[in-house]
Amino acid sequence: MSSAPSDCRFDVTRRKTFSQLLGSRSRKQKRRCSSELVPREAVVRLMKHHQNLGDLLLEVTGSGSERDGVDSDDHNAGTPARGSFIASVFHEQALMNDVPPGLLTARTAVEKIQQIEQLGLTPRHTVMLDADQRGKLVCLLQSLRELMSTGMLSRLQFREEIWKAKEVPMLEVVWHLQKENIVSLEELVTSNPDVTFAVRWLFDNLCLLCSEAEDQYQHQDIPRQILSDIVAELVGNGFKESNNLESDRKERQFSQVCFEVLNRMLLWLLDNLCKENETEGASVERATQFWLNVFDTALFHGTLSPDLLKQFFYHTLTQILTFNPVLEASDAIRMQGEWCFAKTKILLTTLYRKIFVLFSAEELIVHLRQVLETHEVNWQNVLSCASTLLVCQPPTQQLLKELLANLLTNSFENYELESIITAFLLVRQAAVEGPAVFISYSEWFKKSFGSANGYHGGSKKALIFLLKFLTDLVPFETVQYLKVHILHPPYVPSKYRALLLEYVSLAKTRLADLQASVEDMGLYEDLSTAHEAPKPQCQALQDVEKAVQIFETTGKIPASVMEASIFRRPYYLARFLPALLVPRALPDSLDSHMAFIDSLKRADKIPDTMYASYIHACNREKQQQLEGVSTFEAMDHGREPIEVLSAALEELRKVAIDPSKTDVVSAQIAVISGQLKTMIDDEDHCTAMDKPIQLDTVVDSLGPLEMEVRDLLLKSFCQTFLVVSSFNPPQRQGEWASLFVKMLCGHRRLLSAVLLRVLHLTCRQASSLSDVHVLGLAGFTLHIHILRISLSVESLQSAGKEEVSFVNHLNQSLVCRTGECSTFCLRFCTAAVAYAVCLSSSRCSSALDVVQQFVPPVFMQKLQYVIPRLIPKCRRDHDVVVEPIWINLVGLHLNWTAAAISLFKHHTFKELAEMKHFQLTFYDWLMFELEVQPHGDLLSDVDRQEYQHWACYQHYLPSPLAAGGCGGDLLTACRTIINSLMDFSKRAKVQSFEEFSCSRRPSFNRSSYENIICRLQEMVFDLESVRAKAPREDGHFLLDVFLDRRAKLELQTLSKQIEQQIELQLFTRILVALPPCVLFKTRIDGLKTTLECEEFFHFTNAELRNGYCKEFVLPFHIVSHFFRGLLNASVHCEKPSSAVDGILSNSKVRCPLLMLSATYWWARLEPVLCTQWKRSSDTPFPRELQTMLDSQLWASRLLVGKLESGPPCCPWVLGAFLYFTLQRGNSLKMLQTAMREICAENKEFQVSVLYLTLMHLVSSLLQPKETSDLTVPLKTCADMIMILEEQNQPWLDIFMVVNKDYKPHQILFSMISDVERKLLPIVFYSLMIILDPKLVSSVIKHSDFLFVAITLHSAMVKLFLDGENIIPVSDQPDLQNSNQPDPLELITKGRRFLLRVIPSCSGQIISQHNKLQAVCKDIDLELKASLDHQLQLCAGDGLYSEPTLL
């Protein structure tokens, strides 16, 4: 049965296969005669004694037949028979040996597999086949598939034989068996009762696969495919849901095997990653790297669901973090500096990053916390994982801060040691990665524990817990962290100071043991890294350089230097001062280094002996270097011009300190001016000082030298101002500042550049300006104000340019919109006004007049607004003081609050605030407050409301009018608020336009408009409670404000008309924001209470009718406001229903536009009114409102085809309900039915419906873009005219509303605006030219037709000649051509129409000749001539007959 491998190879390559032998034998038999055939039985017997079943499995594959030239037809024909043939052979052999056929087949297949595995040249302990072995295995598998299809191969027996064999098949063989669907991995594993052996076998084979894949195969397609398929099988079964495994024991067994194999492979992987100095080295690394492919999600090609992969990755991450937890937390504290991302093994960081792919940063942080809370962890892996996560996923930084906060909160609430240890390890690990990844450890420690609000500040127990923890860390701490804790200790109340000193003593002892000292540590040394600190001498030099830079920027001694002089005196005296006081040749003027030394000397921070030695050594150095040089001019020789200017400015700083040296200061100013002239050629040096400066001409024309000189001048002024102010108050500083600014006025180009720079700094960089900058800029600005320097700037409000003072122009940018801006305004204006007050006191004994010239009024107003707003103490404290105010603005740390309070209480400030042009009036306060943006305000909503109440009710309301208040009059206060709201809104629109025109993005941030509206509502409510009891007064306080403003506008120009429209919109916005009952006056006459609304009726007829109507009705919010106010006000009457009915009945006559608008909006208005009435009264709905409700119901029923008589109602109101209901339902065709069958006898109803159709047409003409089709309104009007003609109803007089003296339809006339009235002639002729000729013949028979037609034609011609372009022209040509009537063409058609109908109107001509001649006398001579001609014809004939038009 067995054969050698060489025999097998010979059989396959040289000998003919069994099928070939049969085929050739068959062909030979075909050529022989039938008598020569050999019996088949003899052949079969022969083969039974000589056959090899294993080789037979390889022979029947059919691959050899093609190589040996067997015809494909014959081969294909014989393929189906091969499986049955080999099956019969195995069956006969089994019968001969008395063995089950399936068992024989399985045993033979397993033996053949072992033979194939032994053929290779590779050692036995391998999992991969070579190419020859793989080819034979493929042939064998094909045969096995054929045997399985015939039932001769049993899967169960085959699996059993595999496990009974001496050697378990290679992993690649198992993979092929599963891939060819012969035996799956699950079937193979579950068929072995020894689970431990199955796990060990699979684990060993996977390890061998990883080792061999990199060593022996350049092309790793097959190993990678094996890995992908096997791992997919393991993960898919090892991480199944438990509820899916309860029914089948074998599935549970296989799931356990898969899970255990994956666990072993993971431990093998982690063991390889953690090995150090391996002997195998590269081979282990390559095997490990190959297994890392398992964590490439693309490897699985969608064979596993994301949830399964996440479970697998979560499990892997947990195993990594908990692998071999031998290191204690103390070890981690000592060693974690070596576990940063850069020092972690690349393979481990690669594994982390592959795992991170499937998760968000938040999911990873949550899982990390769960592992830390529930497992004993490997701190090296945890911290390296945290580093990798922080570096590779930036969102983790914020999440880690939140995790740290939670850990510390939990730790100090429950006094849990593990949480605080975890937090410290994590934050130190994060800080090791550098500031680009996380804040430094020292910064985090100060934020967390450096104040009373720290985590430990809640109780003494929490403080002791923290100090005990830090004490326990000391033996394991590194030098840098100990220094952080000593130099930035946690906040400790004074009574527990001894506890902190115990820790500091212990930490210093530990530092001494480590041969490090905190005394040698630098002031600006980086404490967050574990790097070795620099040598003390080098660190001291770095500290000096850094301190001088900070001093040059801020003008103040750095806090770190001040602290070191007190708390770290050994380092300060032994290291820092020697490095600072290195002898050198001192410059002629103070540089930043020398100024810093002088500041320290004045603060008594340099010992006298050390300072004297330094000065002596410096003088000696200077003497040696500058021998023979004695004059300033000699020092200037050979220097650059900018250096000469800088030296001159430094010399000015030195001489300005002494105010008595006025001549020296003037001379030095002259030197500076001369140097400026040599450097910059200014052609405007002769220009008068009072001529406005053109800033826009300098913006883009400055060269590099000019910009450098500009910055040098401004910087020098600020520095000199600070130095001089530190020695003397403003009144004793002399004239240096005034002379400096006057000198600049002689260099107008430079002055323009400096002023631009000042504007830029104060407007765009205000938040970044230090106290030194603010003081210097304020002083400079004040001297510019004293000299009355003005600018010429563009203005959109006036044509061209306008002249404005520099201070006022600067003040426009000093807005208080946000808390940051308000704080800067407080600082800047306080410095400027305080400086002005102090400076003026030196001029004369009666300084008030001088103060008025020195102090900018706009700065005074700004301070009166911002000081009480930001400092609540100043709202109630009215004390007057005379103490010096400049003392608070001098020193290392300026106290701006104290300076502002001192200035606000100063008697001079109080006296100025009482003067009219320095006052902050109620109106001015409102304009400032409206600028505030609530979202950026320093005050909260509650604080802002409290402040506004104080300002309105406690400050300005009781203040007299002369002081800018309201004199206790609520009416005056309300008017002022309304005016300010309208002016602010108009100014906001202008500013938005300016921002657009300047190509800047406009700022539409929300202002305090709503807050001020609330204050107005409160005042109006208080006012209304008094007005009902007040005596009768004419007018309405609210509407009078608008009328007064309107009276000031000249409406002759178009711009003023537009402004009036804007005013109306703004006022209406305020009106509807107030309580609606304000529109009504409540009069108490004895026991009777009545309502009046005449002023609002007049306002509606005069203003809203012309300026606020859309589609010939008022907007809904106005109508709703009126009706809600009516119902609210009626509650105060004895009979609310009667009061409502009276107002509505009166409005039909006095203000029909309101009622017309109510019918238009009734569908939205009705539920509001019904709900409000039910809420306020138990009586039935008022009669007038019920009538409107019934009218709407009647119109709605008509819309659905229910024809019935209308309710008793005003005809035009009923007609409005009918028309608007049908219009909304797109059923205007039903108007004809209603007019003919229901309302045939109601003339006024029919005329009102015609009026509404005409208004619809007018609205279509005025808004062509929204209602682009004029066909529907024209046809509706024509249909209405036809119906009226059928019923012989007069209707032409409705067009005579163009004549204000025409009386019949005054109510209809009062509904339409002036613009709509002017369009009626166009509407008339637009209709006449489209009417049916028969209908025209009927129309012209009216006795007044010709008079009406000629009157309207004359009005249309006059409208055209006056140049009023009322009809808007569409932007779309096709729309314009099809819908917009051309006025000139319409006039021409109208004239032709009149000339055509005049011969048919002879009777009208005779009876109305004089009146007709008067109408067209000066307008149309052709019409006049035609009338005269027709009159002559009529006079010639005694009788005449009117011709027809058909």
* Mean pLDDT of all residues in 855-864: 93
Name which of 1058-1072, 1130-1144, 1389-1403 the model is least confident about: 1389-1403
Nearest to 1357 by CA among 1295, 1419, 1421: 1419
Residues in a beta bridge with 693: 791
* Mean pLDDT of all residues in 163-167: 77
Q: What is the pLDDT of residue 1051?
A: 57
Higher pLDDT, 950 or 1056: 950
Q: How far apart are CA 190 and CA 1294, in angstroms?
A: 103
Q: Tokens in use for 102?
A: 């399936």
Range with the largest mean pLDDT of 943-957, 979-993, 1325-1339? 943-957
Q: Tokens in use for 190?
A: 């579950």
3-state secondary structure of 1034: coil
- Burial of 95 per CB tally in 10 Å (0-12, 13-18, 19+): exposed
Looking at residue 523, what DSSP letter applies? T
> Is residue 404 over pLDDT 90?
yes
- Kindly report the three-state secondary structure assignment for every residue of 308-356: HHHHHHHHHHHHHHCCCCCCCHHHHHHHHHHHCHHHCCHHHHHHHHHHH
Q: Supply φ then ψ for residue 456, to 5 degrees.
A: -95, 0
* Mean pLDDT of all residues in 493-513: 87
Instruction: Tell me which amino acid residue 1124 is.
Output: R
Q: How far apart are CA 152 and CA 84, in angstroms?
A: 9
> Is residue 39 over pLDDT 60?
no
Q: 137 and 129 in contact (C-beta within 8 Å)?
A: yes
Q: Tokens in use for 521?
A: 């540590």
Pairing of strands 1081-1085, 1088-1092: antiparallel
997 band by pLDDT with thresholds 50, 70 and 90: very low
What residues contact 1416, with CB distance under 8 A and at least 6 apart? 1350, 1353, 1354, 1423, 1424, 1427
- Residue-wise pLDDT for 406-420, tens only, equals 999 999 999 999 999
> Is residue 630 over pLDDT 50?
no
Q: What is the pLDDT of residue 1184?
A: 92
Q: How far apart are CA 693 and CA 133, in angstroms?
A: 98
> Is residue 532 over pLDDT 60?
no
Name which of 135-149, 744-758, 996-1010 the model is least confident about: 996-1010
Q: How far apart are CA 533 and CA 527, in angstroms?
A: 9
Higher pLDDT, 1016 or 849: 1016
> Is residue 459 over pLDDT 80?
yes
1167 band by pLDDT with thresholds 50, 70 and 90: very high
What DSSP string runs through 800-833? SEEEEEHHHHHHTT---SSHHHHHHHHHHHHHHH
Q: What is the pLDDT of residue 1381?
A: 66
Find the helix or strand (DSSP H, E) in which 139 lies.
helix 131-150
* Mean pLDDT of all residues in 999-1006: 44
3-state secondary structure of 1081: strand
Name which of 125-139, 206-220, 618-632 the model is least confident about: 618-632
In degrees, rounded to 5, the angle at the alpha carbon of residue 1248 between the alpha carbons of residues 1244 and 1250 is 120
Range with the largest mean pLDDT of 557-566, 1141-1150, 1289-1298, 1394-1403? 1141-1150
Query: How many alpha carbons lie under 13 Å from residue 969 in its C-beta half-sphere?
Result: 13
Is the Cα torsion angle 275, 279, 280, 285 positive or negative in sign? Answer: positive
Range with the largest mean pLDDT of 285-294, 869-878, 918-927? 918-927
Q: How far apart are CA 1164 and CA 869, in angstroms?
A: 44
> Is residue 920 over pLDDT 90?
yes
29 band by pLDDT with thresholds 50, 70 and 90: very low
Q: Tokens in use for 442?
A: 């020292």
* Mean pLDDT of all residues in 1261-1272: 64
Nearest to 777 by CA among 791, 765, 793: 765
* Mean pLDDT of all residues in 987-991: 70
> Is residue 998 over pLDDT 50?
no
- The count of other CB atoms within 10 Å of the CB of residue 446 is 18
3-state secondary structure of 883: coil
Q: How far apart are CA 1308 and CA 705, in angstroms?
A: 76
Residues in a beta bridge with 1083: 1090
Q: How far apart are CA 917 and CA 964, in angstroms?
A: 10
In degrees, rounded to 5, the angle at the alpha carbon of residue 761 between the alpha carbons of residues 756 and 767 is 165
> Is residue 870 over pLDDT 90?
yes
Q: What is the pLDDT of residue 1334?
A: 87
Query: How many alpha carbons lie under 13 Å from residue 958 in its C-beta half-sphere?
Result: 6
- The count of other CB atoms within 10 Å of the CB of residue 602 is 12
Q: Tokens in use for 713?
A: 């001048």
> Is residue 588 over pLDDT 80?
no
Q: What is the pLDDT of residue 575?
A: 78
> Is residue 972 over pLDDT 90?
yes
Q: Tokens in use for 379?
A: 């701190």
Q: What is the pLDDT of residue 107?
A: 78
Which whole-number Å values give the CA distances from 32 to 26, 35, 39, 41, in the listed order? Answer: 10, 8, 14, 19
* Mean pLDDT of all residues in 296-312: 83
- Residue-wise pLDDT for 1187-1243, tens only, equals 999 999 988 888 887 777 778 888 889 888 988 988 888 777 777 777 777 665 677
3-state secondary structure of 428: helix
- Residue-wise pLDDT for 724-776, tens only, equals 888 888 888 888 888 888 888 877 788 888 998 998 888 888 888 888 889 99
Nearest to 148 by CA among 193, 94, 90, 212: 90
Q: What is the pLDDT of residue 1000?
A: 41
Q: How far apart are CA 523 and CA 571, in angstroms?
A: 9
Higher pLDDT, 1136 or 1343: 1136
> Is residue 289 over pLDDT 50?
yes
Q: Tokens in use for 540?
A: 């001291």
> Is residue 919 over pLDDT 60?
yes
Q: 718 and 775 in contact (C-beta within 8 Å)?
A: yes
Q: What is the pLDDT of residue 1055?
A: 67
Q: Tokens in use for 594?
A: 């020398």
Q: What is the pLDDT of residue 1379?
A: 54
Q: Global pTM?
A: 0.56
922 band by pLDDT with thresholds 50, 70 and 90: very high
Dihedral angle computed from the Cα positions of residues 1205, 1210, 1215 and 1217, in that order, rounded to the nearest 10 degrees:
-90
- Residue-wise pLDDT for 1283-1336, tens only, equals 888 888 888 878 876 555 445 567 777 788 888 888 888 888 888 888 888 888
- Burial of 634 per CB tally in 10 Å (0-12, 13-18, 19+): exposed
Nearest to 1159 by CA among 1210, 1205, 1108: 1210
Q: Tokens in use for 1104?
A: 């809203």
> Is residue 189 over pLDDT 90?
no
Looking at residue 1052, what DSSP letter applies? T
Q: How far apart are CA 1217 and CA 1200, in angstroms?
A: 15
Q: Tokens in use for 1412?
A: 């007709």
**Percent of the chain whose predicted confidence (pLDDT) is above 70:** 78
Contacts from 472-477 at CB under 8 Å and sequence distance 24+?
473/333, 473/424, 474/503, 474/506, 474/507, 474/510, 475/330, 475/510, 476/330, 476/331, 476/333, 476/334, 477/333, 477/507, 477/510
Q: How far apart are CA 1346 and CA 1351, in angstroms?
A: 8
> Is residue 877 over pLDDT 80?
no
Name which of 168-172, 716-720, 788-792, 953-957 the model is least confident about: 788-792
Where are the strands (E) in 1071-1156, listed by range? 1081-1085, 1088-1092
Nearest to 801 by CA among 714, 910, 693: 693
Q: 1313 and 1105 in contact (C-beta within 8 Å)?
A: yes
* Mean pLDDT of all residues in 162-176: 81
Q: What is the pLDDT of residue 520?
A: 58
Q: What is the pLDDT of residue 442?
A: 85
> Is residue 518 over pLDDT 70?
no
> Is residue 86 over pLDDT 70?
no
> Is residue 542 over pLDDT 80?
no
944 band by pLDDT with thresholds 50, 70 and 90: very high
Nearest to 1291 by CA among 1269, 1271, 1308, 1310: 1308
> Is residue 580 over pLDDT 80?
yes
Pairing of strands 790-794, 801-805: antiparallel
Q: What is the pLDDT of residue 636?
A: 41
Q: What is the pLDDT of residue 111?
A: 79
Q: How far apart are CA 112 and CA 129, in angstroms?
A: 14
- Residue-wise pLDDT for 1052-1105, tens only, equals 566 667 778 888 889 999 999 999 988 888 887 777 888 888 889 999 988 888
- Residue-wise pLDDT for 341-365, tens only, equals 777 888 888 899 889 888 999 999 9
Q: What is the pLDDT of residue 440?
A: 81
Nearest to 614 by CA among 630, 597, 602: 597
Mean pLDDT computed over every residue of the chain: 78
> Is residue 51 over pLDDT 90?
no
Which whole-number Å values give the CA distances from 433 to 340, 386, 692, 1124, in the listed order? Answer: 7, 10, 58, 67
Q: 980 and 909 in contact (C-beta within 8 Å)?
A: no
> Is residue 1419 over pLDDT 70?
no
Q: What is the pLDDT of residue 8?
A: 38
Find the helix or strand (DSSP H, E) in which 371 lies.
helix 361-374
> Is residue 1351 over pLDDT 70?
yes
Q: What is the pLDDT of residue 406?
A: 93
The total number of residues shown for the chain amounts to 1446
Q: How far apart are CA 859 and CA 38, in angstroms?
A: 131
1143 band by pLDDT with thresholds 50, 70 and 90: very high
Q: What is the pLDDT of residue 21?
A: 44
Q: How far apart are CA 578 and CA 606, in angstroms?
A: 11
* Mean pLDDT of all residues in 789-803: 64
Tell the residue number behind the tokens 């009516």, with chain if given: 1126
